[in-house]
Amino acid sequence: MLQLCCVLAVLSGPDVRAQDEDRDLVKIQVDPKAVLGPISPDFIGLGYESSAVAQANYFTAKNATLVRLYRNLSSRGLVRIGGNISDHTKYLPEAVAAVNSERAVTVINRANLLDFGDFLRATGWKAMWGLNLGTGTKQEAAEEAVAVAEILKEHLHSFEIGNEVDLHGGYKPALTGYAAYHAAYLDYKAAIRAVLPHAQFSGPDSAVSFDYLASFAGSEADDMKLLTAHYYRGGGGDPKSTIEKLLAPDDGWEHRLRQLQQLCKQSNISFRINEVNSFYGGGKPGVSDTFASALWCLDYMFLLASYGCEGVNMETDINQHAFISHYSPIVHDAAGHCAARPEYYGMLAFALAGKGDLLKLILEKSDIRVTAYAARHEDGSLWLTVINKDLSRDAGVEASLPDGYATAEAYRLAAPSAKSKAHVTLAGKEVSTDGIWSAGPPEAVMIKDGTAVLSVPYASAVVLRLGQAKRR
């Protein structure tokens, strides 16, 4: 089967092994002249329920481990604050902060915002901030927006009004249906612009409805930063939510991505999947918290980039049910100490390879579940990411070196198995308990007749860096 793909490669495996008859052959050809599009500098993002900001000692510049975990991923990423909790949150400047589920009211105070602003400045990231459309008022939203803008300053990306409005308009019965929602959105926006004339907005934070996205783009494209939508592979409580399902292609979602790509071309805007993870409802233990989630995450981020997506916010930390989700790439204990879960390593691998321009490539393979992506960094180096999501078959990879390239080195994304919850490494190194990570020495890759030859074991990935030939 011959496929056109974008390729960046993360190989996970204990060692580089010679190919033999037991390995499925995968051939890769990259066309450095065929640019699919740039990868946005703030492509990498994390997403939180609004209640995360109300936590003590979490979003603060003093949380050095969390600052490092962010900066490992990017020096200019995007945090999304919102979720279901945003429609049950009040900003009360002098009140006691309160972290609650969606069945009660979460309270964010001025001290929380000051800490969050300091955290953003320490990381270099910006924030997309969700306002309460479900149980609040436009006056409250305007007051909150003024405080957020004053404190976050240049680290404020945009505001969103409401969350998953295609599902939760029923919080206010009058908002059922797009027309009623849009009228309320315009009312809120006008109230905010009256006190913040230059406020910028993104939306509509759609969960499932493409009609909401299309309608919102049709009416708001000239006055918003990003079109936003959500994605989960399925439900955490579904017995069918397995590792096999997570790693399998989702044809329906790729159809939606094609729709989004076309819609944005027509509307001259960009889209971002600003809430996403494996399985909703907090994820599936034994699936969402395993190494399989790292492989899925890495592949998913490149898939989005290949459809022109502006970026992704991987959902993390406490959810609408007030517990830390099984899918969270970053977790913390009762004392507030943060740590990286397997999925974080998938994001870290993307951070290593997913920069610059995404390139077209040809991927020739059998029915083995391998994907590949290619990117050219600003320094001219080519990075291939090869992901073997097959759970039983190794891949023997032959990647043709384009003209002008002569060397190859590999950084592997590895774990004992797809089910592993610990001992995950990228480039031979784990993230330390203090949030520190740096790549170990790369593996040398055999070059034979202008082709890089290496093995990608099943349930693994590799990032392959192709170096330019030295000029004499």
CATH assignment of the domain containing 454: 2.60.40.1180
CATH of the domain at 73: 3.20.20.80
pLDDT for 367 equals 94
Residue 358 lies in a domain: no
| 14, 53: one domain | no
| 153, 16: one domain | no
Distance of alpha carbon 406 from alpha carbon 448, whole angstroms: 10
pLDDT in tens, 424-449: 999 999 999 999 999 999 999 999 99
| 120, 198: one domain | yes
Contact 93, 109 (CB under 8 A): yes
pLDDT for 172 equals 63
Average pLDDT (213-226) is 97
| 192, 257: one domain | yes
Assign 3 a pLDDT band (cuts: 50, 70, 90). Answer: very low
Average pLDDT (19-24) is 64
Distance of alpha carbon 33 from alpha carbon 52, whole angstroms: 44
| 18, 88: one domain | no
Assign 175 a pLDDT band (cuts: 50, 70, 90). Answer: low
How are beta strands 44-49 and 312-315 bridged, if at all?
A: parallel
| 131, 259: one domain | yes
Assign 230 a pLDDT band (cuts: 50, 70, 90). Answer: very high
| 371, 394: one domain | yes
Q: Is the alpha carbon torsion for 164, 170, 171, 175 positive or negative?
A: positive
252 CB-near residues (< 8 Å, 6+ apart):
none
Quick check: helix, strand or coil at residue 294?
helix
pTM across the whole model: 0.94
> By residue range, what is the domain housing residue 279?
44-353
Residue 156 lies in a domain: yes
17 CB-near residues (< 8 Å, 6+ apart):
394, 455, 457
pLDDT > 90: percent of the chain: 91
End-to-end CA distance of the chain: 40
pLDDT in tens, 53-77: 999 999 999 999 999 999 999 999 9
Using CB atoms within 10 A of its CB, is residue 40 exposed (0-12), middle (13-18) or buried (19+)?
buried
Distance of alpha carbon 255 from alpha carbon 24, whole angstroms: 28
How are beta strands 451-456 and 395-400 bridged, if at all?
A: antiparallel
pLDDT for 328 equals 98
Assign 23 a pLDDT band (cuts: 50, 70, 90). Answer: confident
**Which of these three, 334, 353, 372, is where a domain ends?**
353
461 CB-near residues (< 8 Å, 6+ apart):
9, 10, 11, 12, 295, 298, 349, 385, 386, 387, 388, 412, 413
Tokens matching residue 470: 């030295």
pLDDT for 7 equals 40
- In our burial notation (b when 16+ CB lie closer than 10 A, e otherwise), range 163-198 reads bbbbbbbebbeebeebeebbebbeebbebbeeebee
Residue 184 lies in a domain: yes
More confident residue, 334 or 327: 327
pLDDT over 90 at 273, yes or no = yes
More confident residue, 291 or 336: 291
**Which of these three, 353, 380, 404, is where a domain ends?**
353
pLDDT for 4 equals 42
| 33, 48: one domain | no
Residue 437 lies in a domain: yes
pLDDT in tens, 86-122: 999 999 999 999 999 999 999 999 999 999 999 999 9
pLDDT in tens, 116-148: 999 999 999 999 999 999 999 999 999 999 999
Mean pLDDT, the chain, integer: 93
| 345, 383: one domain | no
Distance of alpha carbon 71 from alpha carbon 432, whole angstroms: 14
Question: Into how many domains does the chain fold?
Answer: 2
| 127, 198: one domain | yes
Residue 388 lies in a domain: yes
Distances (CA, A) of 150 to 77, 144, 160: 20, 10, 17
pLDDT > 70: percent of the chain: 93
| 317, 440: one domain | no
Quick check: helix, strand or coil at residue 461?
strand
pLDDT for 174 equals 61
**Residue corresponding to tokens 């943060």:** 338
Contact 227, 217 (CB under 8 A): yes
Residue 442 lies in a domain: yes
**Which of these three, 353, 384, 403, is where a domain ends?**
353
Residue 444 lies in a domain: yes
pLDDT over 70 at 170, yes or no = no
Assign 469 a pLDDT band (cuts: 50, 70, 90). Answer: confident
pLDDT for 336 equals 85
pLDDT for 335 equals 84
| 141, 203: one domain | yes
Q: What is the DSSP string of 306-327?
A: HTT---EEEE-SB-TTSSB-TT
Distance of alpha carbon 231 from alpha carbon 280, whole angstroms: 9
